[in-house]
Structures are given as structure tokens and as C-alpha cells.
Amino acid sequence: MADTLPMTLRVYRKLSFAMVPLAPALIRSRLKQGKEDPERVGERRGLSLGTRPSGPLVWIHGASVGEVLAAAALIERLRALNLRILLTSGTVTSAAIVAKRFPPDIIHQYVPWDSPRYVARFLDHWRPSLALFIESDLWPNLILQASARRLPMVLINGRMSPRSFPRWRRARNTISALLGQFEVCLAQSATDAERFAALGARNVIVTGNLKLDVPAPPADPARLEKLMAMTRGRPVIVAASTHPGEEEILIETHRTLAGFFPGLLSVIVPRHPDRGNAVAGLVAASGLRFMQRSREELPAANTDIYIADTLGELGLFYRLAPIVFMGGSLVEHGGQNPIEAVKLGAAIVHGPHVFNFSDVYEALDKAGGARLAGHQEALVKQLGQLLADPAARDAAAANAARVVEQLGGALERTLAALEPYLMQLRIEMGAANA
């Protein structure tokens, strides 16, 4: 295979092999930054303390939290077929989410660094029967070595963003050599399908977005009741999954709105909880009063902003507030997934940068299920209207719920596309048990 690869991938493979001696320094740096689990760094080198279970093993890979959660319903359906699941991801937060929200029989591993030696160790140990890659986290050595082992690979929930497509089009030979290793490409939308096909993917099928079929996130009833008791009678807004550059806008928005809605509480949930102290510094500098959840503090009667800098509690705060601003949209991040908030009855407000979920937000906006705020003044206006008009708020939430229901169904279409592979695994299980 190496002789047929484009020059870019041949050079990449050599460089990634040559970089192995630098791994210890990289590990030390990432440990200092909190980006690695000190007890599991061996997994980054393809080492594992876990034992491969007997029988067929389905390997599912996603980059981080969003991709891992998108696979939750699919994983449940595969478990119902008595298939064992190996789930890989690349971030500490995604590993924590798997431990908190997935059944204990799901095997989680950190994806190995993309060096031929580490990837070979990983594949030799786990010997997966089927590989499902979520969205677009395409590591060349991982893909090429899996293909060399004749491992069937399917790209599921495939997404090719408006940013990535032009870049990959300029390197079409490279991306085509990678996408060509997948037997099937299941795309989120017709636009994604066209982009994947243009870049060399074969057997492209539009199945929809699995994130539309994710269940509503859970919440601990006792913790929810405690929060509701502390905030009862107050207007509450949640700003979910915020990014740097957004909190300053949200703080000023709160200051303006509080002049019209006495007792207003704004809950800021940073996308990365380790930014909680940085957000607290911004609020402190503004002169507003705040409490911080990571310090086990609860909002008091005079708290202006509650910083929810903990992991895996969005379900709690979506249930607490009827209005949710979706972060990552006032800055050019591309927006965060609004589906979980919609499923818990929230009226949605978002900024202009939502290209990660453009189809979803377009449908929500068109149906009146979400409101666009292009700048701070518009954000004040949209949030203020929803705070002042409960009927409009309820109508927006109902409209959003209808849109999500209409756009759903990706899980069933994905399972239908995977059926030939799942049937083969069932045959193998039957033969093993005979």
C-alpha cells in the first residue's frame, strides 16, 4: 500500500515514526496542562491493561465529547445485539463523560497517538471486527493500518465543515487516499455527502445527524431539587458551553437585563470546565456577585452569575432554566449542539457562527424554535423578549421540539446501512457458540 500512497502521506508516515523519541517530552507537557490522565498515558502509546473480550468487537472512535455522545444511542442498540464495544476518544473530558454516562461494560481507551508503532500495538491488542469512525477525526496511520489488516471501516455521522472542505480540496489526493479506505460513508446531510464524494469517498449515503437522536441528558434529582429551591421565583438564563470571548458579552448582557428583570440569575457553563477560574476572574472584575459550582457553592439570593464549571451536569441546568443561550456561536467556533436543550423544553438563542450545526439551526430559526442574536444588543433584545413573554417562550420551545422530531431518524437509517456488517458479526457469534 505504501507505494501507492501520495507523497504527503508517505512523508507523514516517516515523520510520525521519527517523532516517537519525543513522546516522553510531549507526555510531560500535556500532563502539566491537564490534557492527559497520568494513570492512562500508556494508552497513548498503544499499551493497554485491559483484556480483549471474546467474540466480535465493534470499535467506535470519536474525537471528543460531542462525538462520543452522538454515538450513545447507537451504542445502546449494538449492546442489545450482544456486541462488545471498544470506544476511543482523545480528550480527558470525553473519558470522564464515558465513565459517568455509559454502561460499565463499554471499554474506553484513549486513541493512540498517530505513530505507526503505537497504532500497531493498539490494533494488535484489540483486533476489532468492525470500525466506526464518527464525523471527521481521520488519523492517517490509524486508518491505513486498519485497512492493511482488512478491518471493515465505516464513517458514520460524517460531517465536512465549510472550513475544512476548501482546505481538503486543495489536498484532494491526500484526503482521497484516506476516505477511499472506508467501505461506506454515512453523511449527516446532502451537503456533507456532496463534499465527501467530491473528496473521493465511495458509497456515500445520507443518513442524517445522530446528534438529533441523542436522549436528553440525565440529572441527579436531589441536586436538581436543591438548585430549584435556591432559585425558585427568580428568572433564570443558562449560557451553555461558552467559549473565550463570549463570557465578557454575557456578563454585560446580564448587567443590562438585570435592570429590567430584578433577581435575574445567569448561569454560565463553560465548554471546558477548567476555565471556571478564568470566568470567575472576569465576573469579579465586572463587580457582579458570583458563585462557583466547582467549589461546591450554590447560588445565594444575591448571586448574579453562577459559574457551573463542572463536568456532565448540563442536564441539570437545562432543566433549571426555560431559556438557553448556546455558546460557541458569538465567536467563530461554529456553535454547540442545541438538541439536548431543546429536548428538555428550552427556548434557544444563539449567535451568528453556527456552521457546525448549520442545517439544524436553519430549521430551528425558520420554524421559530430558535432566535438569532448577531451582537450584544440583539442578545439583550432576544433574551429580554423571552424573559418578558412566557407564552412566546413556550411557543418557541414547542416549535423547536417539533423541528427536532421531524429531523430525527438518523439512528434507524444508520443501523440499516450497517446491517450487512452487523449480520456478519451475528454469523460469527453463532459459529463461535455452535
DSSP 174-216: HHHHHHTT-SEEEESSHHHHHHHHHTT--SEEE---GGGGPPP
Q: How far is CA 399 from the centre of its chain?
A: 24
Query: Is 368 exposed, middle or buried, given 0-12, 13-18 or 19+ CB atoms closer than 10 A?
Result: middle
Domain range 2-208+410-433, CATH architecture: 3-Layer(aba) Sandwich (3.40)
Alpha helices in 46-88 (DSSP H): 65-70, 72-80
Which CATH number does the domain 221-407 belong to among 3.40.50.970, 3.40.50.2000, 3.20.20.70, 3.40.1000.10? 3.40.50.2000
Distance CA 83, CA 78 (A): 6
| Catalytic residue positions, numbered | 67
Tell me if 367 sits within 8 A of 389, measured CB to CB: no
For 109, the grid coordinates are 481507551
Distance CA 347, CA 338 (A): 10
pLDDT tens for each residue of the chain, 434 residues long: 556 889 999 999 999 989 889 888 988 999 999 899 999 999 999 999 899 999 999 999 999 998 999 999 999 999 999 999 999 999 999 999 999 899 999 999 999 999 999 999 999 999 999 999 999 899 999 999 999 999 999 999 999 988 899 999 999 999 999 999 999 999 999 999 999 999 999 999 999 999 999 889 999 999 999 999 999 999 999 999 999 999 999 999 999 999 999 999 999 999 999 999 999 999 999 999 999 999 999 999 999 999 999 998 999 999 999 999 999 999 999 999 999 999 999 999 999 999 989 889 999 999 999 999 999 999 999 999 999 999 999 999 999 999 999 999 999 999 999 999 999 999 988 776 65
First vs last C-alpha separation in the chain: 37
DSSP 135: T
Positive or negative, the CA dihedral 366, 370, 373, 374 is negative
Tell me if 74 sits within 8 A of 411, measured CB to CB: yes
Which helix H or strand E contains 18, and what residues bound it?
Answer: helix 7-18
**pTM of the shown model:** 0.87
DSSP 45: G
For 387, the grid coordinates are 424573559
Count other Cβ atoms within 10 Å, centred on residue 150: 6
Domain ranges of the chain: 2-208+410-433, 221-407
